Amino acid sequence: MADEFIKGLGILTGSGLAWLVLASWYRTSSFESTQQLIEPLSSGATEGLFNIIAVTLMDVFLWFALLGALTFWVLIPAGHQIMSALEERRNAQ
Amino acid sequence: MSDNEPENEEIRSDGAGIVAPDDETPTWSERKARKTGLSRLTYEYFERARREDQDLRTESDYVERDVLAFPTWPHETVRNLSIASFFVGMILFLSATMPPHIGNPANPSSTPAIILPDWYLYWSFGLLKLNPLNPELAILGGQKLMADRTYGVLANGVVVGFIAIVPFLNKGSARRPVEQPFWSAVGVFGVVFAMTISLLAIKNLMPMNVDLLFDLTFLLPFVFGTITYAVLKTMREGYMYNLNRRYYRLRPPK
């Protein structure tokens, strides 16, 4: 269980950090804005190969952070619980 | 140590008898299959530390001390160095990738639209924004007893006074939160309140309804405190709580 926790935490923090940096480049007009990191893309964000790659990676990192944490903290432990419950039921019969 | 070892063999304090050589190091799947990896590792670490301690005691210049701990070097120092390196690296990384815009020089003749103290004083700044809590007394004809700013300053005294009183109410004999659920709940209440009152201090920057923010500031601490109390009280039900409590009450001999 501790393994699953640290995997989820590592994905959440590592991928979240990468998303934070990219979102601060492409979705932040000012660090005093109330919409920083979630603003629409700044102008010129889709010009050039590197900008396109970075904007794509930004979404990839965000969803990887969210889905990764969800997977390792909720889905996999729930799967283990279901498997052990089924096994107990099978042994009881 | 097994019994068939020759007694004149030199005592090895490098832990070579405990730690597996490189070619015998288990793979990750093997480690996972064991299910006892962490407890085994903990045992090996403490056993090695105990052995080093024993070797130290047998040295002629050893002075008995009533301290029960690991030596600062290398245990604590290596750990602290790694933690310090991590945070220094994180500071360098963030300052390199996200440099904040440096604005114009401050104009001393005009107050900025947003004034804020340093972040660790947000809680105190938030206490200055309790205007809706300052009672309007009917006997004064709907007037307030004191100005809102006076009320905010007195609120600081209440919070600081409560923090100062806590050590006299609870001596801190518990080793784990589960031993004193109520006081753990008080601690969680304080931590959550420190966060929510800090968010109230920056209500200009919060992307949410200000009235809702004000209500949540005082509601969330009670919610989290109650959850903490309920969870810890439930944890006490099983898990050999009384046995563990007796164990954690032990103190090293003086």
Residue B137 main-chain phi, psi, to 5 deg: -90, 135
Q: Is the pLDDT of residue B106 over 70?
A: yes
> What is the identity of the amino acid at A10?
G
Pick the closest to residue A4 from A57, A81, A60 (CA basis): A81
Tokens of A53: 């790659």
**What is the DSSP track for B97-131?**
HSPPP--PPP-TTS--SS----GGGHHHHHHTT-G
Distance of CA B62 to the CA centre of its chain: 36
Residue A74: CA count within 13 A, CB half-sphere: 6
CB B196 within 8 A of CB B220: yes
| Out of B97, B114, B206, closest to residue A21 by CB | B97
pLDDT tens for each residue of B133-150: 888 887 777 788 888 889
CA geometry: angle at B68 spanning B232 and B74, to 5°? 100
* Predicted local distance difference test score (pLDDT) of residue A48: 92
* Domain ranges for chain A: 2-92
Inform me whether the pLDDT recorded for B1 exceeds 50. no
Rounded to two decimals, what is the model's pTM?
Answer: 0.59
Q: For the segment B56-91, what is each residue's pLDDT rounded down to a tens digit?
A: 778 877 776 666 677 788 888 999 999 999 999 999
Q: What is the pLDDT of residue B220?
A: 97
Give A23→chain B minimum CA distance, Å: 10
B91: phi then psi, degrees, rounded to nearest 5: -65, -45
Tell which of A19, A24, A25 to mutate to test the B interface (max B CBs under 10 Å): A24
Contact check, Cβ <8 Å, B32/A35: no
First-to-last alpha carbon distance for chain A, in angstroms, is: 28
